[in-house]
Structures are given as C-alpha cells and as structure tokens.
C-alpha cells in the first residue's frame, strides 16, 4: 500500500503540477478508496468495483473516478488528483482557515483540505451524494467536516469563510459567495471559457481574476451555469465533413500545454470559440463554431485548419488569424491573462461572469 501511495504522488507530479510537501503528505495520508466504496466508472467508461484486481491501482491513478451517472452523463465524481492539487495550491490554505467547498462529490477533496488543518463546510446539490460524502468522511475519521445539501449558488450555511473552492464547472461567481468571504479572501473556481473550465483565482473587491490552470469539469446545475453576454457556444459533440483548408504552420506541433494556451487566447479574442470533438479521433479540439453550432473550423496542434459548412472559408480565415495572433505575441500562457468580471446571467439569480480579458505586457510562452 505504501508503494501504491508513493507511486500515486509520482503520478500526480508527472502531470507537471508543483505542490508542497504538506499537500503531498495529505495525499499520502487520506485513503482515496474510502470515498469510492461502491466502485466507479473510469474515464473510458469501464466500471471498476472493489473486487476487481486493478481496483486499488485505478483508485491510486491520476485520473477522475466517476461515481454517479445520469444515463450517459457523469453527474458526480472524484476529480483528477493533479487538478485537485493545482486548485488546493492555488487556494493557499493555512491551518485554521474556514473553507467552503461547492460540490462535495465523494468528499475526498474536503478530506484533503481538512487534513491540511482547514475547517471545511462542503455543499452538494444532490442529497444522496451529500449523504454518501458525509458517511465517507466519518469512516475516514474526519467527522468535523460539515456536509450540507444545497444549491451552491446560495453559498450554503450563512457563515463567514476565508476561502471558497468550487469543484464543479460554473459560468460565473455567485454574489452570495462574495457576501460570505472575509476581507483578503479568495475564490478558486472553474469558469466556462470556450467550452472548457479553466480555473480562476478570483479576488473579490477588484472583481478580477487570474487564470490558475486548464481544466474540464462537469457543469453545475441551476443558476451557476446561466448564459450571459460573453458565453461561448456550447461544445459541439462531433464535427462532421471536415476537410483541411489550411496546412500545418508549426513544426513541431504544440505540446498539450501550449495548445491549451492557444485555446484560452482564442476564447478571449473570439466569441464563437468553443470545444469540439472530431469523429474517429479521441482528443478535444479548439473550434470556432458558426451560428448553427455544428460547423465551422478546428485549429489543430500543428496550426493546420480543418473546416466544414457553408462558411468554411470565413471560419478558416478566423482560425488562421487567431493562431497567428497568438504566435506573434510570443505564445502567451493562459496564466498571463487577467479576467474582468461583470454581473450577468439570470436576472433573478445573477452571477459575476467573465466580460473582458487583458494580457500582461511581456509574456513569452514556454
Ligand atoms: C466533480 S464533482 C466534485 C468532486 C468532489 N469535490 C470530490 O472531491 O469528490 C461535482 C459535484 O458538484 C455537484 N453539483 C452540481 N451542481 C451543483 C450546484 N449547483 N451546487 C452544488 N453542487 C453541485 C454535483 O452533484 C457533483 O457531486
């Protein structure tokens, strides 16, 4: 078991995330299997149960464990550990801090925060999920973590917090979270941008944010995912009929991190940027979708453009312009962006959503 946990830490680090020895200690101390006692679905859809030979190896992999499905759609999970590590590092938690988590899920992230010495309250909109998280936290010897059933928009129990961490994809920040935060507090939250959920570090007061890292989360239910004036089009399920309309422009191709940086910039510059999959290919792609949402252009990691639909020529030109602009600016990383937030969404339950993006002046890409 000790070997499995050591390998686990190596796997989390191999994703390029740097995290403190204290957080490594928490990952080594909290048994993840306690939080998935009934098994889970792997990313590839395979169901894994405790009796399976590879159960513990899969639990201690650097991957998401899906614990609840609604038909084909995952509605609860234990997130990818390297993403949890990046978010907890971004939160800068110290012992004794009061932390509100939105999206209790399995309770594992709350357990890590509690092991770091935080006083944790976690809320989940699904009563059965909240109840299972409560039981798991008790079995893990962390009965002090408070688990409540609530829509995260409400901010849960009306108390004061030093930090808020959101572990479900949202379109913006609830004003009720701001009311709960003490001065100097911060919110780490994955906010929809071009079909993915980059994690933002929001500093209330300024109502601006920095980008922490790339992420893809399941979307929250309720007003937290309302559309707003700068919403991007929903992700296209799979684009059909694509042909190459512009050849590769970069050798070697961008690595996964640089491709995410390009994707972020495209989302800041073009309102039709989104996420697409391509029939027969496994990866996710930056797409610029036309008004139908089912055609447009795709920018590949080597800068080649694929396009489809009646406006293929126009969307090819947009893809080229976005790629060239990002390259000419020195390939800025997503962490170089400052995001301005404005109140929008459902007028009855507004959210602070991204509305403007500015780039730090000198930010050469990696
Ligand atoms: C990715 S999981 C959270 C992972 C969790 N932190 C863990 O460590 O296992 C997302 C959770 O957010 C919950 N959720 C979705 N919409 C929500 C909302 N509006 N308010 C609160 N929780 C919500 C889902 O029920 C789901 O359990």
The residue whose C-alpha atom lies closest to atom 15 belonging to ligand 1 is 220
Rounded-to-10 torsion of CA 339, 188, 133, 143: -160
134 belongs to a structural domain: yes
User: What is the tens place of the pLDDT at every residue in 232-264?
Assistant: 999 888 888 999 999 999 999 999 999 999 999
3-state SS, the chain, equals: CHHHHHHHHHHHHCCCCCCCHHHHHHHHHCCHHHHCCCCEECCCCCEECCCCCCHHHHHCCCCCEEEEEECCEEEEEECCHHHHHHHHHHHCCCCCCEEEEECCCCCHHHHHHHHCCCEEEEEECCHHHHHHHHHHHHHCCCCCCEEEECCHHHCCCCCCEEEEEECCEECCECHHHHHHEEEEEEEEEEECECCECCEEEEECCCCEEEEEECCCCCECCHHHHCCCCCCCCCCEEEECCCEEEECCCCCCCCCHHHHHHHHHHHHHHCCCEEEEEECCCCCCEEEEECCCCCCEEEECCCCCEEEECCCHHHHHHHHHHHHHHHHHCCCCCHHHEEEEEEEEEECCEEEEEEEEEEECCCCCCC
CATH of the domain at 56: 3.40.50.150
- Is 269 contained in some domain? yes
Q: How far is the CA of 145 from the centre of ligand 1 (A)?
A: 16
CA 341 to ligand 1 center in whole angstroms: 23
Q: Tens digits of per-residue pLDDT, 34-43?
A: 999 999 999 9
Ligand 1, atom 13, residue with closest C-alpha: 103
- Token look-up 């509690």 returns 114
Give yes or no: residues 254 and 156 share one domain: no
Nearest CA to ligand 1 atom 27: 105
What does the pLDDT read at residue 366?
45
Mean pLDDT, rounded, of the chain? 95
Same domain, residue pair 52 and 159: yes
The answer to whether residue 343 sits within a structural domain is no
In a domain, 88, yes or no: yes
Tell me the CA–centroid distance for residue 63 and ligand 1, in Å.
17
Given 147, 167, 187, the domain boundary residue is: 167
222: CA distance to ligand 1 center in Å?
A: 12
- Answer whether residue 204 shows pLDDT above 90: no
User: How many folded domains does the chain comprise?
Assistant: 2
Report residues whose beta carbon is within 6 angstroms of any ligand 1 atom.
Answer: 75-79, 102-103, 105-106, 108-109, 123-126, 129, 151-153, 167-168, 218, 220-222, 224
Asked about 79 being catalytic, the answer comes back as yes
What is the average pLDDT across 122-140? 98
For atom 11 of ligand 1, the residue with the nearest CA is: 103
State pLDDT tens for residues 19-69: 999 999 999 999 999 999 999 999 999 999 999 999 999 999 999 999 999
**Dist. CA 87 → ligand 1 center (Å):** 15
- Residue-range definition of the domain harbouring residue 18: 2-167
In this structure, the answer to whether residues 163 and 240 fall within a common structural domain is no
Atom of ligand 1 nearest to the CA of 64: 1
Picking from 123, 150, 167, the residue at the C-terminal end of a domain is: 167
Same domain for 240 and 163?
Answer: no
Q: Is residue 143 located within the same domain as residue 19?
A: yes
> Strand 73-78 relative to strand 98-102: parallel, antiparallel, unpaired?
unpaired
Q: For the segment 96-117, what is each residue's pLDDT rounded down to a tens digit?
A: 999 999 999 999 999 999 999 9
* pLDDT, greater one: 207 or 35: 35
- 1 falls in which pLDDT band (50, 70, 90)? low
Ligand 1 atom index nearest CA of 151: 20
pLDDT value of residue 283: 86
What value does the mean pLDDT take over residues 330-340? 97
More confident residue, 240 or 123: 123
- Options 79, 273, 297, 308, the catalytic residue: 79
Determine, yes or no, domain membership for 172: no
Phi-psi region of 324 (alpha: psi -120 to 50; beta: other; left: phi over 0): alpha
248 domain residue, yes or no: yes
Q: Does the pTM exceed 0.85?
A: yes
Phi and psi, residue 101, nearest 5°: -110, 135
Tell me, yes or no, whether 248 and 163 share the same domain.
no
Separation CA 231–CA 27 (nearest Å): 35
Q: What residues form DSSP beta bridges with 253? A: none
Looking at residue 51, its pLDDT comes to: 97
- Give the end of a domain, one of 152, 167, 182: 167
Task: Check whether residue 163 and residue 265 sit in a common domain.
Answer: no
Query: Tokens 């489809």 map to which residue?
Result: 308
Residues 6, 137 share a domain: yes
Substitution site in 168, 188, 215 for ligand 1 pocket (most atoms within 8 Å of beta carbon):
168
Phi, psi angles (nearest 5°) of residue 182: -75, 160
* Residue 144 and residue 273 in one domain: no
């Amino acid at each position: 078991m000790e070997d499995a946990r050591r390998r686990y830490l190596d796997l989390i680090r191999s994703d390029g995330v740097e995290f403190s020895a204290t957080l490594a200690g928490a990952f080594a101390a909290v048994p993840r299997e306690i939080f998935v006692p009934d098994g889970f679905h792997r990313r590839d859809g395979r169901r894994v149960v405790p009796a399976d030979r590879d159960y513990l190896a899969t639990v201690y992999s650097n991957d998401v464990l899906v614990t609840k499905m609604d038909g084909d759609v995952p509605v609860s999970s234990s997130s990818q550990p390297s993403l949890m590590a990046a978010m907890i590092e971004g939160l800068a938690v110290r012992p004794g801090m009061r932390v509100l988590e939105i999206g209790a899920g399995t309770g594992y992230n709350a357990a890590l925060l509690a092991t770091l010495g935080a006083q944790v309250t976690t809320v989940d909109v699904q009563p059965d999920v909240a109840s299972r998280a409560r039981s798991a936290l008790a079995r893990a010897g962390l009965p002090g973590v408070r688990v409540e059933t609530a829509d995260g928009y409400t901010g849960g129990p009306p108390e004061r917090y030093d930090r808020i961490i959101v572990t479900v994809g949202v379109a913006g920040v609830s004003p009720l979270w701001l009311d709960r935060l003490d001065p100097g507090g911060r919110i780490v939250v994955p906010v929809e941008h071009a079909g993915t959920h980059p994690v933002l570090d929001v500093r209330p007061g300024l109502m601006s944010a920095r980008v922490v890292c790339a992420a893809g989360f399941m979307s929250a239910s309720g007003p937290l995912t309302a559309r707003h004036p700068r919403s991007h089009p929903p992700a296209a399920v799979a684009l059909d009929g694509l042909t190459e309309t512009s050849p590769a422009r970069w050798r070697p191709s961008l690595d996964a991190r640089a491709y995410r940086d390009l994707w972020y910039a495209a989302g800041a510059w073009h309102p039709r940027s989104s996420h697409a999959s391509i029939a027969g290919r496994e990866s996710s792609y930056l797409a610029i979708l036309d008004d139908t949402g089912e055609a447009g252009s795709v920018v590949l990691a080597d800068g080649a453009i694929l396009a489809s639909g009646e406006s293929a020529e126009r969307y090819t030109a947009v893809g080229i312009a976005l790629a060239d602009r990002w390259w000419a600016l020195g390939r800025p990383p997503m962490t170089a962006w400052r995001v301005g937030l404005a109140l929008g969404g459902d007028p009855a339950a507004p959210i602070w959503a991204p509305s403007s993006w500015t780039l730090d002046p000198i930010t050469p890409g990696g």
